[in-house]
Amino acid sequence: MKKLLLLFLIVGIVFSDSACHSQGGPRGKSEAEIKRMIFVYGNGTDKAFIKYVATLTGKEKPKICFFPTAAADDPRVIAYWDKLIEGMAINSCVIRTFISSSPEQKSFEEEILTADAIIVGGGNTLNMIAVWHAQGIDTLLRMAYEKGVVMAGGSAGSLCWFTGGYSDSRPRELSIIDCLGFLPYSHCPHYDNPDRRSLYLEAIESGIIEPGYACEDDAALLFIDGHLSESFSLNPGRHSYFVTVEEGRVTETLLPAKALK
């Protein structure tokens, strides 16, 4: 009798564990069905980019969380976000990190892990990542990404997802900073800026940073499961590139882009 009860108990545990795994990820998707997407663009947030991020979620009215951390939660940046999303079919959530505790607040975990997409604004990348680390937000973002929550952003909000690159986060001059590393490449936003472009090319050629992707302003890239999927542009004069070293020389490969309106 004891052996029979033990057998039922083991079967019950296995069944329960299988059920939990079958419900993994957002919207009940299995691990095999989850696509881990990151959409980056070279400059600040734009209405067309937000609309495209919303379509990536597959939801009719997705919950999109906006992070203005890099701008120190500047009210003007938040007001601009609110203006951009007017009339859009999204549930907007602005996650402020420069706060004082109050009982009515939701935790960062509650907001991030229930989102359909995360969009990160521009500003000081180095300070933003330091704040995220202090608050445990970097860990939560990784958890959300692995669950299939769409990650996106421009400028600081694009650089943060890569291993690192040049940033204007420190005094005097552009310097290399380490980032979250969700994507195993270096990155350069604002690639139409001559100083950024030349520094990025030199750093890759000398091996200071690994090969990576560069976006001019108004150009964008979509990565799925860590690999480049598509390139986009808001106008024909703006481009994205893959930058690497071939036979000892740095090379730029122009990435054909689809128009995004």
Question: What integer pLDDT is reported at residue 16 of this predicted model?
Answer: 35
Q: Which two tokens stand for residue 105?
A: 């607040």
pTM of this prediction?
Answer: 0.87
9 within a domain of the structure (yes/no): no
- Ranges of residues in the chain with a pLDDT under 70 are 1-32
The pLDDT of residue 45:
84
pLDDT given at position 8: 37
**Residue 21: predicted pLDDT:** 33
The per-residue pLDDT for 5 is 37
Which own/partner pairs from 173-180 qualify as long-range (CB within 8 Å, at least 24 positions apart)?
Answer: 174/199, 176/203, 176/208, 176/209, 177/125, 177/126, 177/129, 178/129, 179/125, 179/129, 180/129, 180/138, 180/141, 180/142
CATH number at residue 155: 3.40.50.880
- Choose, from 167, 186, 190, 233, the residue flagged as catalytic: 190
Look at residue 130 and tell me if it is in a domain.
Answer: yes
Strand residues in 95-194 grouped as ranges (E): 117-120, 150-154, 164-167, 175-178, 186-188
Other C-beta atoms lying within 10 Å of the C-beta of residue 237: 10
Residue 202 included in any domain: yes
Task: Establish if 96 belongs to a structural domain.
Answer: yes
233-260 pLDDT, tens digit per residue, is 999 999 999 999 999 999 999 999 999 8
Question: What pLDDT score does 104 carry?
Answer: 80
Tokens 């691990």 — which residue?
Answer: 31
Backbone angles phi, psi at 235, to 5 degrees: -155, 155
For the chain, how many structural domains are there in total?
1
Considering the candidates 155, 158, 231, 233, report the single residue annotated as catalytic. 155
5 found inside a domain: no
Domain span holding position 94: 33-259
Instruction: Verify whether residue 190 is a known catalytic residue.
Output: yes
